[in-house]
């Protein structure tokens, strides 16, 4: 023990066992159980910010298209590469999650789906919808590409 404050970091858990108290970011997933409410909320923010970064890609795509054949063929080739596809995959997951959970937020704004069992159910529905839309997109995309 290097610091007297370390003594305060020892506590008892609900079974009476002596444990080190969990510290903030490292407690996520271990001592702090993710709940549908907090997880779906933070994912809405993270995907929103990711989509914000994604708008740079959309802008690049449109600017390349407007600047000529050479630039456009380069950016289309980048999307077709494995790293481009990986970025696009992340983009579609973020988009479909934000889309589905956005509908959930609009339902909440109109006063619907607030009860805990409903909130858990529509949260699972959002995750299922995200997976379904992402799979649908990539099945169609890989068929027409």
Partner 1 sequence: MSTQDKSPSITMRRSQLGRARGLGSAKHGAAHWWAERVTSVALLPLSLYFVVSVIMLLGADAHAMHAYMAEPWNSALFLALIIIMFYHLSMGLQVVVEDYVPNEAKRLLMVMVLKGIIIFLALASAVSVLKLALS
Name the nearest CA neighbour of 93 among 136, 39, 41, 144.
136
* Least gap, CB of 144 to partner 1 (angstroms): 6
Q: Does 45 bind partner 1 (CB under 8 A)?
A: yes
Binding segment for partner 1 among 11-19, 28-36, 57-65, 112-120 (CB under 8 A)?
57-65
In sequence order, what DSSP letters do the residues of 15-29 get, joined into one string? TS-EEEPP-HHHHBT
Q: How far apart are CA 31 and CA 79, in angstroms?
A: 41
Closest to 97 (Cα-Cα) out of 136, 139, 141, 131 = 131
Are the C-beta atoms of residues 19 and 11 closer than 8 Å to each other? Answer: yes
Q: Which of 19, 62, 128, 132 binds partner 1 (CB under 8 A)?
A: 62
Question: Site size for partner 1, by CB under 8 A?
Answer: 34
Which is it for the CA torsion 73, 81, 145, 47, positive or negative? negative
Residues between 67 and 86 that touch partner 1 (CB under 8 A): 67-69, 72-73, 76, 79-80
Q: Which residue's CB is nearer to partner 1, number 116 or number 142?
A: 142
Kindly identify the residues of this chain, within the stretch 94-113, that bind partner 1 according to CB under 8 A. 95, 99, 102-103, 105-106, 109
How far is residue 31's CA from residue 26's CA, in Å, rounded to a whole number?
9
Which residues form the interface with partner 1 (CB under 8 A)? Answer: 45, 48-49, 51-52, 55-56, 58-59, 62-63, 65-69, 72-73, 76, 79-80, 92, 95, 99, 102-103, 105-106, 109, 137, 140-141, 144-145
């Amino acid at each position: 023990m290097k610091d007297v404050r370390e003594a305060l970091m020892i506590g008892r858990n609900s079974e009476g066992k002596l444990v080190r108290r969990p510290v903030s970011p490292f407690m996520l997933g271990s001592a702090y159980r993710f709940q549908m409410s907090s997880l779906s909320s933070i994912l809405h923010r993270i995907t929103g910010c990711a989509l914000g970064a994604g708008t740079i890609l959309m802008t690049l795509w449109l600017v390349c298209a407007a600047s000529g054949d050479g630039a456009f063929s380069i950016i289309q080739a980048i999307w077709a590469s494995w790293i481009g596809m990986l970025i696009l995959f992340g983009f579609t997951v973020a988009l479909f999650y934000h889309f589905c959970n956005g509908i959930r937020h609009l339902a909440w704004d109109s006063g619907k789906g607030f009860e805990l069992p409903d909130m858990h159910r529509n949260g699972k529905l959002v995750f299922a919808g995200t997976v379904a839309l992402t799979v649908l997109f990539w099945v169609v995309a890989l068929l027409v590409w």
